[in-house]
Chain A
Amino acid sequence: METVVRRLVSDAEFRAVAMANPEAALADYNLGVDAQAAVSKLCGQIADDDDFGDVHFGSWY
């Protein structure tokens, strides 16, 4: 998972593919079902944010 996130940060081409089609971009990574869903959601969150900015942690305890 660390590798995927670092690549999302550093590789603009990969990031573009991941934003457009997370399932295809993540296919080569051996992520578990919960991690796959989380990274896909991250790709959705950054799709509208060109500078790979803040993510929405939400309001928890």
Chain B
Amino acid sequence: MSATTAQQVVLDAVEGAGFPAPFKELIILALSQPGRILDTDHPSLFHEIISACSLASGGHPNFAAVAGAAFELCIAASDILDEIEDGDESVVVTRGGMPRALNASTALLTLAYSVLSGAASTGDESALFLRLSRELSDTIVASTIGQDADLSTAGGNERSIELALDIARSKSGSLVSGASVMGAMLGTLDPDVIALYRQFGLHLGTAYQLNNDQRDARSSIKSDVSSEKGTVPLVFQRNGAVDSVDASDQSSLRSSGALQFTWVLMETERNACKRVIEALRQHDQDVTPLYRLASEQ
């Protein structure tokens, strides 16, 4: 079996779909956004997670490339929808218009499952790729539940820190958890070990989301502040305010303790993540790549 990469799997899938040139250009644009699989300047998070967990569990790198490609195609599809749902600026919408951007999202999502079903139908590992397909579906469904809760809290009425943290867990926590499990499944079927990878991803993904939330709370580009979202830093800031709060006031974000509280929650999740990594070590997993994910880059 010759070595392949997730990037190559994605490019082959796009090429094989036979898209007309303008549509293909839009698809490639979506896949080349910062942090996505065809962006050459930044690592693509979910592919990295699948690769690391596959490496840790003893999976084959080529299978990790296929799983990573499928996951990243789903994420590129979701990104387009998220930007539209949140009212954020979208390069794909700007380039192609809303209807074409939505159609590109449909194509990307379908390609993700095409990659997995293609691998299931051509090799000796059809059962494995069907399991991966099921895990990917469950992951995306869980993430949409988190996204719906997130969208429902916009408007500044959300006051529960617990709910804000639950949203962070169900949005990114579920995605990273699913990616971790997909990587782990390439090397092990032990349900206890798989459960640990799920916990690892849940804590890691929640930490990532909290870091995103503090970044977006300080951003003048993202819509979190203007739409008064129910993220952890913004809810904490609102709860501590005597009068109505100007969330765009950066000094208030700091002086209220909102950033510090978000940092403490993020660090707590990261500590929990490291404890799970140690448990995985006890199950003979090669945890070096997992520690790399849980450390600052």
Which A residues contact B (CB, under 8 angstroms)?
Answer: 1-2, 5-6, 8-9, 32-35, 37-39, 41-42, 46, 52-61
Q: Please pick, from A6, A38, A58, the residue contacting B257 in the complex, using a CB distance under 8 A.
A: A6
Which B158-210 residues sit within 8 Å CB-CB of chain A?
161, 207-208
Interface residues of B, CB < 8 Å — how many?
Answer: 31
Q: Say yes or no for B249: interface residue by CB 8 A criterion.
A: no
Q: Which residues of A contact B259 (CB under 8 A)?
A: 54-55
Which B residues contact A (CB, under 8 angstroms)?
Answer: 35, 43, 45, 48, 161, 207-208, 211, 214-215, 236, 240, 254-257, 259-261, 263-269, 271-272, 275, 296-297
Which residue in chain A gives the minimum CB-CB distance to B42? A61
Q: Which residues of B contact A46 (CB under 8 A)?
A: 260
Contact check, B208 vs A39: say whether CB atoms are below 8 A apart.
no
Which residue in chain B gives the minimum CB-CB distance to A34? B271
User: Chain B nearest CB: distance from A54 CB in Å?
Assistant: 6
Which residue in chain B gives the minimum CB-CB distance to A55? B263
Contact check, A60 vs B254: say whether CB atoms are below 8 A apart.
no
Q: Which residues of B contact A6 (CB under 8 A)?
A: 240, 257, 261
User: Chain B nearest CB: distance from A25 CB in Å?
Assistant: 14
Q: Which residues of A contact B256 (CB under 8 A)?
A: 9
CA distance A51 to B150 in the complex (A): 32
Contact check, A59 vs B296: say whether CB atoms are below 8 A apart.
yes
Q: Please pick, from B208, B260, B271, the residue contacting A55 in the complex, using a CB distance under 8 A.
A: B260
Contacts A5-B257, A37-B271 known; 4 new A-B pairs at CB < 8 A: A8-B260, A34-B272, A37-B267, A59-B297
